[in-house]
Amino acid sequence: MIMDELARQVKESSIKLAAAGTEIKNKALARIAESINERKEEIIRANAEDLDRSEKENLPAPLLKRLKFDEVKIADVVDGIYSLINLEDPVGKTLLSTELDDGLELYKVTCPIGVIGVIFESRPDALVQISTLCLKSGNGVLLKGGSEARETNRILAEIIIDAAEEAGIPSKWAALLETRADVNDMLKMDRYIDLIIPRGSNDFVRYIMDNSRIPVMGHADGICHCYVDEDADLDMAVKIVVDSKTQYVAVCNAAETLLVHERVAPEFLPGLKKLLDSKKVKVVGCPKTRALIPVNPASDEDWKTEYLDYKLSVKVVSGLDEAVDHINAYGSGHTDSIVTRDREKAARFMDYVDSGNVFWNCSTRFSDGFRFGFGAEVGISTSKIHARGPVGLDGLVIYKYKLIGSGHIVEDYANRFRTFKHRNLNREFTL
C-alpha cells in the first residue's frame, strides 16, 4: 500500500525533525519565504491553470475567489512566514522541574506531537500556513488540499519541501496527497499519524470523526450566540450583534442566534430589525420575538443550525440562566458573547457557558488565531481536550517527561530505604 509507505516515511522524518533546533527551523522558514518569492511566476501560472479548469467546470464564483492566488495573496503568505519566524519556538519549553530525590530530577518538556494529517479546502494559502506552522512546531505533515487547487498545491508543496531541505530539514517531513482515496487511506494510518485536522464542511468533518481511530481536532459546527442582557448598553448591543452576524457570514465564528432578555426585548428588537433589514438579514424568532417584530417562526431545528448566511434566529429569554441553558443545549461550544453592564453576570456567563470562547461586550467574530495574536492558526477547535478555541503553535505540541538519575531504583523507595523529596527546581531543562 503506497499510503502506508508514505506515512511511514513522514513519521520517520518527523522523529528527526522533532529534534531540530529553532535556528534550523527558522532558516528553513526564511528559505521557504524567499523561494516562494523567487518562484512567484511559476505559482501564478499554476494557479491560472487551476482557475481556467475550475471555471470550465463551473466552480461557483465565491470558490473561484478563494482559489485565486495572486501577487497580493503571495505577499500575504510570505509576510505570514516572516511573522512565524519571529514567534517563540513552542518546542523545548520546560513546563515543570522537580527534584524527586538527591540526583533524581524530573523535567516535563514540550515536544512536537509527531505527524499531523491536515485536510483543507480550496484556498492554496492554507497549504502554506499549515505546513509552515507544522514545520515551526517540529511536526511532520500530510497535506490534502482541494482538487480545484491541484496545480497550485503541487508547486507550493514542491517549493516548501525543497526549500526546507536546502536548509537541512529531512526531506520527507511533508507530503502532498491528491485524491479522495488518499484521504480514506490516511484515516487508517493510526500507526503513523497522531492527529487529524480537518477543515471543511460540517458533514465532511463529521465523516472524518466517525471514520478514524486517530484523534481529530477541529469543529463541525460553529453555532455562536449573542446574549443581550437586561443591563446591556443597547447601542453597544446593536453594534455587537450586527458585527457578529454580518461582518462576514460564511465563517464559523459568525453569530447564528440572538438571545434577548425579555425586559429589554421590546425596546431592543424593533431597532435591531431595521438595521438587519438594511443588511438583508432574514430573521426568524420564537413566539415572544414574533409578538414584538414581524418575523417568521423559528423551529427547534433553527436553534441547532449553522446558517453561514444572512439569517439570524432570535429568542426572548427570561434571564441569564435561560440564556446559558439554551447555549449549552443548542450551541456547539465554539464562541458565545454576553452584552451587559453587570460584571457579576458577565462572570457567571463566562463560568457557566461551556464553550471554548466566552466573550463579554464584544463581537463573536474576534475568535480567530490572528486576532488573538497567535500569528496564525491551524483551525478552531471545539474539542474538550488538548486544545480549544483558535489553535496556533501551542496546540501542535505535547510534552515528554525526562527523568535523570544516577542509578536510582524503585526498590529503595518501596523498602523505605529512601524517601521522595518532590522539591520544585524551577529550572529549565538542559543536558
Query: 379 Cβ partners below 8 Å, 6+ apart?
Result: 197, 199, 217, 218, 219, 390, 391
Binding region for a copy of itself (CB under 8 A) out of 51-59, 150-158, 274-282, 405-413: 405-413
Q: Of residues 34, 70, 233, 322, which one binds a copy of itself by CB under 8 A?
A: 233
Beta carbons of 272 and 243 less than 8 angstroms apart:
no
User: Alpha-carbon distance 70 to 77, whole Å?
Assistant: 11
Q: Give the footprint of a copy of itself on residues 261-300 (CB under 8 A).
A: none
Q: Of residues 45, 65, 371, 427, which one binds a copy of itself by CB under 8 A?
A: 371
User: Alpha-carbon distance 230 to 261, whole Å?
Assistant: 5
Residue closer to a copy of itself (CB basis): 115 or 143: 115
DSSP code for 296: E
Give one DSSP letter per residue of 26-71, joined into a string. Answer: HHHHHHHHHHHHHTHHHHHHHHHHHHHHHHHTT--HHHHHHH---H
- Rounded to a whole number of angstroms, the minimum distance from the CB of residue 353 to a copy of itself is 9
- Rounded to a whole number of angstroms, the minimum distance from the CB of residue 275 to a copy of itself is 13
Cα 101 to Cα 108, 296, 422, distances in angstroms = 16, 70, 7
* 240 forms part of the interface with a copy of itself (CB under 8 A): yes
Contacts with a copy of itself by CB under 8 A: the residue count is: 76
Within 190-319, residue ranges assigned H as helices are: 202-210, 234-246, 265-278, 287-290, 300-303
- The interface mask with a copy of itself, positions 297-336, x = CB under 8 A, is -------------------------------x--------
For 33, counting Cβ atoms within 10 Å of its Cβ (0-12 exposed, 13-18 middle, 19+ buried), the class is buried
Q: Of residues 45, 65, 180, 422, which one binds a copy of itself by CB under 8 A?
A: 422
Q: Give the footprint of a copy of itself on residues 340-369 (CB under 8 A).
A: 343-344, 346-348, 350-352, 354-363, 365-367
Q: Of residues 17, 28, 104, 316, which one binds a copy of itself by CB under 8 A?
A: 104
Q: Give the footprint of a copy of itself on residues 156-215 (CB under 8 A).
A: 194-195, 209-210, 213, 215
Residue closer to a copy of itself (CB basis): 145 or 389: 389
Angle value at C-alpha 40, between 172 and 145, nearest 5 degrees: 50
